[in-house]
Amino acid sequence: MSNIYSPNIARVMEVRDETPDVRSFRFEFIDPEIHKNFTWKAGQFLILSVFGVGEAVFTFANPQTRKQFVECSIRKVGLVTEAIHELEVGDTVGIRGPYGNWFPFEEFKGRNLLFVAGGIGLAALRSPIEYSLDTREDYGKITILYGARSPLDICYKDKLTEWQNSDSVELVLTVDRGNDEWKHRVGLIPNILKEMNPDAENTIAIICGPPIMIKFTLKALADMGFTDNQIVTTLEMKMKCGLGKCGRCNIENIFVCKDGPVFYYTQLKNLPEEY
Ligand code: FES
């Protein structure tokens, strides 16, 4: 395993547009030994450097069971992500990591899994979803509820088609505002979740999305009988160094980069409202 504190040079293998402001990148390490040995666990994150511009934290979009490359899906929101969106196949970046904890799949064995993702939140849940599909026999029913603002904002259309056609998983798609071509549900995620009314018995809900979605999804789950230790989420905001050093990511006494980014809701519920 390479040193997690120093960046390894990686080359862009593939660039794919997901939505008007989200692009997915596949990277391979230049050093074949590093490429072969570099690994991570679903839920962990990496720090990507664009030389001469800066660095930023991203989650791994693909799981360790599909590690032919490192994939990240990146929304254009600032200087570094704008520079990343300019990258073309063959360009090089620095990647260091992996950092943080991961989804506790050992604890999920034998349980039903309910993934609830909003918008770009699916990028953080894609690796645990694909990991659970690659270790399918370990779990009961797997359900995915994914929502975005509009059909244009839906990420991973090829993956969604694959999941839609799979017997291993039930996929429900929704948008806040549909259009003539949209054949799935229209409505906010928490409302669709209530209509689905999943059985809380023996189910773990794994959620990621914008704060307002999380807030109302947590309420909907509680109303359906989910307890705080049946809800797992991942927090990505505010991280910088990834090492517990810069003090940028702490919420009260929790450091998202070291204690997380994956948390049971039990660990977060008493934090201030803005988180
Ligand atoms: S990101 Fe620097 S302390 Fe967590």
pLDDT, tens only, 129-184: 999 999 999 999 999 999 999 999 999 999 999 999 999 999 999 999 999 999 99
Q: Which atom of ligand 1 is nearest to the CA of 242?
A: 1
Domains of the chain: 8-99 (2.40.30.10), 105-234 (3.40.50.80)
| 219 vs 235, more confident | 219
CA neighbours closer than 13 Å in the CB half-sphere of residue 148: 22
- Per-residue confidence (pLDDT) for residue 250, from 0 to 100: 82
16 lines ligand 1 (CB under 6 A): no
178 lines ligand 1 (CB under 6 A): no
241 lines ligand 1 (CB under 6 A): yes
- Per-residue confidence (pLDDT) for residue 82, from 0 to 100: 97
Share of the chain above pLDDT 70, in %: 96
Pocket test for ligand 1, best of 47, 58, 59, 241 (most atoms within 8 A of CB): 241
Pocket test for ligand 1, best of 5, 47, 101, 240 (most atoms within 8 A of CB): 240
The two structure tokens encoding residue 178: 């549909």
Q: Which residue has a Cα nearest atom 3 of ligand 1? A: 244
State the distance from the centre of ligand 1 to the C-alpha of 238, rounded, in angstroms. 8
238 lines ligand 1 (CB under 6 A): no
Residue 203: φ, ψ to 5°: -115, 140
State the distance from the centre of ligand 1 to the C-alpha of 121, rounded, in angstroms. 21
In the chain, the amino acid numbered 129 is I
pLDDT category of residue 56 using cuts at 50, 70 and 90: very high
pLDDT > 70? residue 274:
no
Q: Which atom of ligand 1 is nearest to the CA of 258?
A: 4
Contact 134, 49 (CB under 8 A): no
Name residue 16's beta-bridge partners: 24
254 lines ligand 1 (CB under 6 A): no
Dist CA 204 CA 65 (whole Å): 21
- Per-residue confidence (pLDDT) for residue 217, from 0 to 100: 95
Compute the Cα dihedral for 258, 236, 84, 120 and give only its sign: positive
| Three-class SS state of 96 | strand
20 cis-preceded (ω within 30 degrees of 0): no
Q: Mark 17-47 as b/e (b = at least 16 C-beta within 10 Å).
A: ebbeebbbbbbbbeeeebbeebebbbbbbbb
pLDDT > 70? residue 2:
no
User: How many other C-beta atoms can be found within 10 angstroms of the C-beta atom of residue 51?
Assistant: 13
Pocket test for ligand 1, best of 45, 235, 245, 253 (most atoms within 8 A of CB): 245
249 lines ligand 1 (CB under 6 A): yes
Report how far apart, in Å, the C-alpha atoms of 2 and of each of 29, 97, 100, 224 are: 11, 9, 16, 45
25-42 mean pLDDT = 96
Residues 6+ away with beta carbon under 8 Å from 208: 116, 117, 118, 121, 122, 124, 125, 214, 233, 234
Dist CA 8 CA 125 (whole Å): 25
Residues 6+ away with beta carbon under 8 Å from 140: 110, 111, 112, 113, 202, 203
11-33 mean pLDDT = 97
185 lines ligand 1 (CB under 6 A): no
248 lines ligand 1 (CB under 6 A): yes
